[in-house]
Amino acid sequence: MTATAPRLDWQFQLLDLRPSRPQPILVPAPPPVEPGQSAAVSRLRAALDPAVAARLLNGSELIRALQKSRREEVIPTTLEPLDALLAGGLLRGKVVEVVSRRSTGRFAVAMSALAAATSTGEAAALIDLGDHFDPQLGEAAGIDLRRLLWIRPKTLKEAVMSTEMITATGFQLVVLDVGLHPIRGRRVPGAAWVRLARTAESHGAAMLISSPYPLTGTASEAVVKSGGMRVKWLGQGRAPRLLAGVKTSFVLEKHRHIKPGTAASLELAER
Amino acid sequence: MSRIACFSVPMFPLAARLRCEPELLQEAVAVVEGNGNSAHVVAATRRARSKGIRPGHSLAQARSIVPKLIARGRDNEAERTAQEALLEIAETFSPRVEDAGEGVVFVDIAGLERHWGEAAAEASGLGPRASGESDAGGGHEVLLGRAAMRRCEAIGLPVRVGIAASKLAARVAAELAKSPTVVAAGNEAGFLAPLPLTRLSPELGAATTLHRWGITSIGDLAGLPESEVASRLGELGRELHYAARGIDPRPLIPRPLPPDFREGMELEWPLVALEPFLFIANAALDRLSKRLETVGFSCTRLELTLTLEPDGFHVRAIELPAPTRDVKTMLTLLRLDLEKTPPGAPVTGFSLVAHPDRPRRAQLSLFGPAALSPERLATTIARLISILGDGRVGMAMPVDGHLPERYAIADYAPPPPPTTRPRPKKSRGLLAVRVFRPPVPVEVNTHVIDGETQIAAIHGEGDHAGEARVSSGPWRIEEGWWAEKRNDREYWDAELTRGGIYRLYRDRVSGEWFLDARYD
């Protein structure tokens, strides 16, 4: 591409003292336009009662308000103690990590969040690195399987890549369960989690990462770690035993807006 | 009143070649036909023509003028696909399109004024109207012609447009340097009169005779008495006289819609590596995608035909998981398929056929949960399947049966979200189960307490090992007892002292123990 170079005498125009040269006239600034306020809307608002006019929105204002309210919403896990710990649930546009190595209900938290999201009509995705999801039990837990995209990667790298692609597609809840220790595939660089957090933020998706040990570092909004667990068995002595459930506790390890260290206890029943 | 637009690509063999190899546009390139001593130039780029190379020169003559001349043979596959692309652009203006071959297409544009709104708006910002308009409707036709030129340029074909009441006049108008040229209705004879006689492409014998008579322009021929010309030159002379007066009785013969879209190329040298082939295939897929976009379709099935050396073909079909136009996705699927089953011989040409389908559409909701864009979802799923493989992305399905590890996966097609957002259902607080696929083989120690068999310890790898604190069982599952491979299992739940609750079973047929799941 070629560009015509300006003449030198125009470049040094300020040094030219000859009065005959016509001076350029600056274009006046356009009048200020009130964003989203057309003349018709302004007239209509002026004619209405102020209380009614305050609730009147035009199309673009309505879409902006809806987008803002959607971003401020949370997706509850519907496990009340855990929701209380996380100030309502999983924040949209943020990453929450649940860490636990033993049978303390980490997968149950993921199932509950998926059930809550899909039961309200949201599209959700489960990236299941360990290939542990049981459709029968998922349905029994309340997950609407029609709205759940199940992805079964083979390595952590594939899992992170799938999570990013799915989040960018517009899924409202993305759950990445990396399975049990040891995690399949090599570790991914820390920047990958930052990238995931940015993708979640730019698309307003709530992201839950469930792992046996902390992975996300500074990229997550909150980290919840299991405190301890007690298994409840039915039957004592010579009577046959039956697994009834577990009583577990979660501790808030990190949160950007809540003081960490708070604990919540949770009871999970075996059907 | 008939109105016909002619889209003509000058030097079509060269234009089709440059569409596939756009990097040669600024080079001295000649497209040649024939082999050995009979090879002669058919068309040449502006740079080659400026140095004196003309159509009809032998390759040796051309090389003596420009030693570094890049010579390319005529590529039938590239010409065919360029012609198809041209027809598809023409079909965006009118459904009645005639394929005249060699980069020429006739379009019936009579009575379509109301449909030109989009084209008129598209071309309205391109400057003053052409001087060729002379009737009330000419302005719209000029705009239509400019829109056609822009659309053809977008797919890599420089096109000239002529619009007239007959095919002959439209074609002659399209061959003029100024484009678009609009010939007013009824003014065909006046338009043709000043043009040289060669524009009518008379046969050599008739042309020589007319030259001897001193007839050089079309108007001169039209001024002669028809019967006198016919008596001296025969039926051929009568037809030529008709053409000179702008009379063309040939109707437009519309072509049927194609069932698929094809792109391909004949290669200069055989390819043996995958990467160079994918580089060329990427460009072909890109062209294919643009053509599909022109007609509002997506690709649902991709067929690849490879021409092999010394002879033979290798044909394969790739079913796309969802209709898509995403080049990256299609290329990844192509790569995976070729890596899985290589053709086994050098490749000297290829053609890609895309079977079209309507892209998925959905009405997005304002107040309900945000819906997914069907087009974007389809593309993402196709890309994920291309990366992860079949059966690893989809909708989980419950399966009838008793074995806990059973599952099925189906295509993901979520229903539309509700129009309003309901409140989420309260969780039942169930302990979830992590299923092990396949079950993990372990060794198990048991002991008998009060006549009941209990798990004493599990010996497995990593976390799957330890002394059992409490266990319960057995629960027996028997499935497929009538079949040769029956499942007869005894299940236990066991809590380990180091933490972790496992579900395990003993295969009663083999006597082996397996960890089936872990409660979590």
What does the pLDDT read at residue A14? 45
Give A254's strand partners: A223
**CA-CA-CA-CA dihedral for B140, B144, B150, B152, to nearest 10:** -170
What does the pLDDT read at residue A200? 93
Q: Which of A70, A72, A106, A150 to probe the B interface (max B CBs under 10 A)?
A: A150
Percent of chain B with pLDDT over 90: 20
Contacts of A138 in chain B (CB under 8 A): 396
List the single range of A61-70, A192-201, B4-13, B240-249 with lowest mean pLDDT: A61-70
Q: What is the mean pLDDT of residues B178-193?
A: 86
SS3 of A185, please?
coil
Q: Which of A133, A165, A166 is nearest residue B396 as measured by Cβ atoms?
A: A133
Q: Which of B388, B431, B471 is nearest residue A108 as measured by Cβ atoms?
A: B431
pLDDT digits over B358-374, tens only? 777 666 667 777 778 87
Residue B473 has pLDDT above 90, yes or no: no
Cβ contact, residue pair A146, B519, below 8 Å: no
What does the pLDDT read at residue B136? 43
Q: Which of A71, A102, A267 to probe the B interface (max B CBs under 10 A)?
A: A102
What does the pLDDT read at residue A240? 75
Helix (H) or strand (E) holding B144: helix B138-154
Helix runs in B109-217, H state only: 117-123, 138-154, 167-174, 188-192, 204-213
pTM: 0.63
Q: What is the phi-psi region of residue A202: left when phi exceeds 0, alpha when psi lies from -120 to 50, beta otherwise?
A: alpha
Percentage helix, strand, coil for chain A under 3-state DSSP, each rounded to 5:
35, 25, 40
ipTM given for this complex: 0.77
Tell me what the pLDDT averaged over chain B comes to. Answer: 85
More confident residue, B454 or B136: B454
Contacts of B517 in chain A (CB under 8 A): 132, 134
Q: Are B70 and B4 in contact (CB under 8 A)?
A: no
Assigned token pair, B151: 């659309």
For B469, the closest chain A residue by CA position comes to A231
Number of other CB atoms surrounding residue B309 within 10 Å: 15
Q: Are B450 and A238 in contact (CB under 8 A)?
A: yes
SS3 of B492, please?
strand
- What confidence category does residue B214 fall into, taking pLDDT thresholds of 50, 70 and 90? confident
pLDDT digits over B54-113, tens only? 888 988 889 899 888 898 888 888 898 899 899 988 888 888 889 888 899 999 988 777
Spatial separation of the C-alpha atoms in residues A28 and B271, rounded to whole Å: 63
More confident residue, B386 or B488: B488
Cβ contact, residue pair B417, A77, below 8 Å: no
Q: Are A163 and A177 in contact (CB under 8 A)?
A: no
What does the pLDDT read at residue A6? 45
Q: What is the mean pLDDT of residues B375-400?
A: 86
Give the CA distances from residue B276 to residues A120, B272, B280, B312, B347, in Å, rounded to whole numbers and listed in that order: 49, 8, 7, 21, 11
pLDDT digits over A240-260, tens only? 788 889 999 999 999 988 888
Indicate the residue type of A34: E
Q: What is the mean pLDDT of residues B18-34?
A: 88
Q: Are B490 and B517 in contact (CB under 8 A)?
A: no
Query: Which of B461, B17, B497 has its CA nearest to residue B283?
Result: B17
Cβ contact, residue pair A238, B437, below 8 Å: no
Sign of the Cα pseudo-torsion (B265, B269, B271, B276, in order):
negative
Cβ contact, residue pair A134, B409, below 8 Å: no
Assigned token pair, B355: 């079977």
Spatial separation of the C-alpha atoms in residues B170 and B108, rounded to whole Å: 11
Contacts of A242 in chain B (CB under 8 A): 472
What does the pLDDT read at residue B125? 52
Per-residue pLDDT of chain A (271 residues; tens, 9 = 90+): 444 444 444 444 444 445 455 555 555 555 555 555 677 778 888 888 888 888 877 777 777 777 777 667 788 999 999 999 998 899 989 999 999 988 889 999 999 999 999 998 889 999 999 999 999 989 988 999 999 999 999 999 999 999 999 999 989 999 999 998 888 877 888 899 999 999 999 888 999 999 999 999 899 999 999 888 889 988 877 777 888 899 999 999 999 888 888 898 988 888 7
Q: What is the mean pLDDT of residues B154-175?
A: 89
What's the gap between Cα B232 and its chain centre? 53
B337 DSSP 8-state letter: H
What does the pLDDT read at residue B193? 85
**Core vs surface per residue A65-86: b (16+ CB within 10 A) or e:** eeeeeeeebebbbbbebbbebb
- What confidence category does residue B123 fall into, taking pLDDT thresholds of 50, 70 and 90? low
Q: How far apart are the first and last CA of chain A?
A: 71
Assigned token pair, A164: 């990013």
Q: What is the mean pLDDT of residues B304-326?
A: 85
Number of residue pairs across A and B with CB atoms under 8 Å?
Answer: 218
Q: Which of B390, B430, B503 to probe the A interface (max A CBs under 10 A)?
A: B430
How long is chain A? Answer: 271
Residue B161 has pLDDT above 50, yes or no: yes
CA angle B239, B241, B245 (to 5 degrees): 115
